[in-house]
Amino acid sequence: MKYKDKVVYQIYPKSFQDSNGDGWGDIPGIISRLDYLKDLGIDVIWFNPMCISPQKDNGYDVADYRNFDPRYGTMEDFERLSKECEKRGIEIMFDMVFNHTSTEHEWFKRALKGEQKYKDYYIWRKKPTNWQSKFGGSAWEYAESLDEYYLHLFDKTQADLNWENPEVRQECADIINYWISKGVHCFRFDVVNLISKATVDEDDPNNADGRQFYTDGPKVHEYLQELNANSFGQDPAAITVGEMSSTTLANCVRYANEDEKELSMVFTFHHLKVDYKDLKKWELKPYDFLELKRLLSSWQIGMQEAGAWSALFLNNHDQPRALSRFGNDTVYRKQSAKTLAAITHLMRGTPYVYMGEEIGMTNAYFKDISQYVDVESTNIFEILKKEGKSEAEIYHILQERSRDNSRTPMQWNADINAGFSKAKPWLEVTYNYKDINVEESLKDKDSIYYFYKDLIRLRKTYEVIRTGLYVPLLEDDSQIFAFERKTESESLIVLANFYEQETSADLSTKGYDVLLQNYPDVLTEGDSIRLRPFETVVFYRSL
């Protein structure tokens, strides 16, 4: 139960609050905003990595797992953060990037010098396979000093660790135990289902990226059980979540089942590919609502039937803002943001609030490549240009897909740089910050912020929201996402119109009360409920 009533807030530290005027978010800045998060009602804060890193992939290229990049602050700053979080009953979740390290890590540098112990920490071959990096280009990079290639599923500065090596596995357990000793009890594991490679010697016959050889690999459960036993599994307060790339339900019911002693829960992404044409991220298509509903429902049912647990989210630092992607970030910004929040928070699992979604932050709509920082985005700009796409087409794609969309500075107020920093921020603030910011949200009793606050409060109040079974409703309806959550003594019904067109749900809510709504009134006519643009109504009754 320790995580089934919790709500996690994700902070992208680089963009949350700058305190020392260098245009870069930092730990003292985070501390200054803890009361805002406490008031929102969240229980855990997931911090994206703040370790020493060359920042080629914004910290997911770790060069020292035990020390903070000074641009975020010092160990003393962290210890103050830990104390201030504890005072507010907020847990800290750190992000463990164990599939790879930066090529600036001491281990990799010693490997390049030919130290066999550290060479064995990575994956080397004389001859590369045809595998492609998830950030474009070959997944192998030549190291002249060794006359060999090393594997990197992501950027060439992110060398994959060799998890076959027990010393690597022990290093990772030791890193977790170090942070547990510092008072961190919650951990997110980056692309952790990629750590076990079946082989690295075979070309991908479909000339694809090779993911079939390393996704949910043959020893991944064994490695996770060992990591659990040697680290966080010994910590009764531990809450863990694994980011699972291109995974399957069959594996996730094992990753996130307490009996398997692997992790507490998983992030999966199938529902966030319903606007990928032919499942290709950089090929746009309008999102498929029925597919979105089908995927969310099938995973809810599959996980609950197996007694496994899901992380619930539509936003994170790798995704464009859901409000711009699935909602309407202009005329119906408030209504659609609330609708997306309601279906996320009222499904079965642990909800994650990504910084800024609680105030309806939108995509950045940058117009020039000079505004983009993300390595994935700048790489794809060059790749698409080589493929002959016009710059106008490429900018349209980046405006819809770039990870920078969600990494723009948190919009606190209408002051310079949205109150994030007095200096030029490392990434531009989104254009609409004067109207969309925390200060405005706190003044407006009908704001998205207060709707999130209600959702979080309801989770603490109603058992049916925490643990109730998920039952899909109106499955064939082409614009309403509807489901019931139920226990032996309670029933909750969620009706959400995902479109601007008005519609109605033919469903009896006799004996139910309205628990939450995103319009001033609720229009019921007999056994039918009218749903205006992006209208959501939540009904509740004790059985």
Nearest to 436 by CA among 318, 317, 315, 329: 329
The active-site residue out of 26, 61, 69, 190 is 190
Q: How many whole angstroms separate alpha carbon 163 and alpha carbon 6?
A: 32
Indicate the helix (H) or strand (E) that contains 261. none
Which is nearer to ligand TEU, 75 or 279 (by Cβ)? 279
When binding is defined by CB under 6 A, the residue of 5, 120, 222, 318 that contacts ligand TEU is 318
In this structure, what is the dihedral angle of CA atoms 458, 461, 466, 470, given to the nearest 10 degrees?
-60
Does residue number 109 form part of the binding site for ligand TEU (CB under 6 A)? no
Residue window 345-374: x/- pattern of binding to ligand TEU, with contact defined by CB under 6 A? ------------------------------
Which is nearer to ligand TEU, 317 or 348 (by Cβ)? 317
When binding is defined by CB under 6 A, the residue of 26, 190, 209, 404 that contacts ligand TEU is 190
Residue window 424-463: x/- pattern of binding to ligand TEU, with contact defined by CB under 6 A? ----------------------------------------
Residue 159 half-sphere exposure, CB side, CA atoms within 13 Å? 26
Which is nearer to ligand TEU, 164 or 318 (by Cβ)? 318
What lies within 8 Å, CB to CB, of 187 at 6+ separation is 93, 94, 95, 96, 176, 179, 232, 238, 239, 240, 241
State the minimum distance, in angstroms, from the CB of residue 57 to ligand TEU. Answer: 5
Which is nearer to ligand TEU, 6 or 403 (by Cβ)? 403
Cross-strand partners of 536: 496
Does residue number 194 form part of the binding site for ligand TEU (CB under 6 A)? no
State the minimum distance, in angstroms, from the CB of residue 203 to ligand TEU. Answer: 22
State the minimum distance, in angstroms, from the CB of residue 500 to ligand TEU. Answer: 28
State the minimum distance, in angstroms, from the CB of residue 153 to ligand TEU. Answer: 8
Does residue number 134 form part of the binding site for ligand TEU (CB under 6 A)? yes
Which is nearer to ligand TEU, 187 or 412 (by Cβ)? 187
Nearest-Å Rg of the Cα atoms of the chain is 23
Q: What is the 3-state secondary structure (H, E, C) of 60-82?
A: CCCCEEEEECCCCCCHHHHHHHH
Nearest to 235 by CA among 385, 93, 338, 132: 93
What lies within 8 Å, CB to CB, of 419 at 6+ separation is 411, 412, 413, 437, 438, 439
Q: How many whole angstroms separate alpha carbon 398 and alpha carbon 385?
A: 12
State the minimum distance, in angstroms, from the CB of residue 253 to ligand TEU. Answer: 21
Which is nearer to ligand TEU, 320 or 409 (by Cβ)? 320
Does residue number 403 form part of the binding site for ligand TEU (CB under 6 A)? yes
Tokens of 211: 């993911």
State the minimum distance, in angstroms, from the CB of residue 272 to ligand TEU. Answer: 8
When binding is defined by CB under 6 A, the residue of 3, 16, 24, 60 that contacts ligand TEU is 60
Q: Is 404 labeled as catalytic in the residue annotation?
A: no
373-402: which residues touch ligand TEU (CB under 6 A)?
376
The active-site residue out of 57, 160, 216, 243 is 243
Tokens of 244: 């699972």
Q: Kindly determine how many residues on this chain lie close enough to bind ligand TEU according to the rule CB under 6 A.
A: 14
Q: Is 190 labeled as catalytic in the residue annotation?
A: yes
Residue nearest to ligand TEU (CB): 60
Does residue number 57 form part of the binding site for ligand TEU (CB under 6 A)? yes
Q: DSSP 3-state assignment of 482?
A: strand
137-166: which residues touch ligand TEU (CB under 6 A)?
154
Instruction: Sheet with 239-243: list strands edge to edge.
Output: 265-267, 239-243, 186-189, 91-96, 44-47, 8-11, 350-354, 311-312
Q: How many whole angstroms separate alpha carbon 442 and alpha carbon 24?
A: 25
Residue window 269-308: x/- pattern of binding to ligand TEU, with contact defined by CB under 6 A? ------------x---------------------------
The amino acid sitting at 383 is: I
Which is nearer to ligand TEU, 26 or 61 (by Cβ)? 61
The answer to whether the CB of 534 falls within 8 A of the CB of 516 is no
- Residue indicated by tokens 């700053």: 77
What lies within 8 Å, CB to CB, of 454 at 6+ separation is 516
State the minimum distance, in angstroms, from the CB of residue 403 to ligand TEU. Answer: 6
466-525: which residues touch ligand TEU (CB under 6 A)?
none
DSSP state of 166: H
Does residue number 91 form part of the binding site for ligand TEU (CB under 6 A)? no
Which is nearer to ligand TEU, 244 or 465 (by Cβ)? 244
State the minimum distance, in angstroms, from the CB of residue 72 to ligand TEU. Answer: 16
Helix residue ranges, H only, 387-543: 391-401, 438-443, 448-461, 463-467
State the minimum distance, in angstroms, from the CB of residue 279 to ligand TEU. Answer: 11
Q: How many whole angstroms separate alpha carbon 523 and alpha carbon 2?
A: 38
Nearest to 15 by CA among 338, 354, 319, 314: 354
Which is nearer to ligand TEU, 398 or 465 (by Cβ)? 398
Does residue number 404 form part of the binding site for ligand TEU (CB under 6 A)? no
Catalytic residues: 190, 243
By the criterion CB under 6 A, which residues form the site for ligand TEU? Answer: 57, 60, 97, 134, 154, 190-191, 243, 245, 281, 317-318, 376, 403
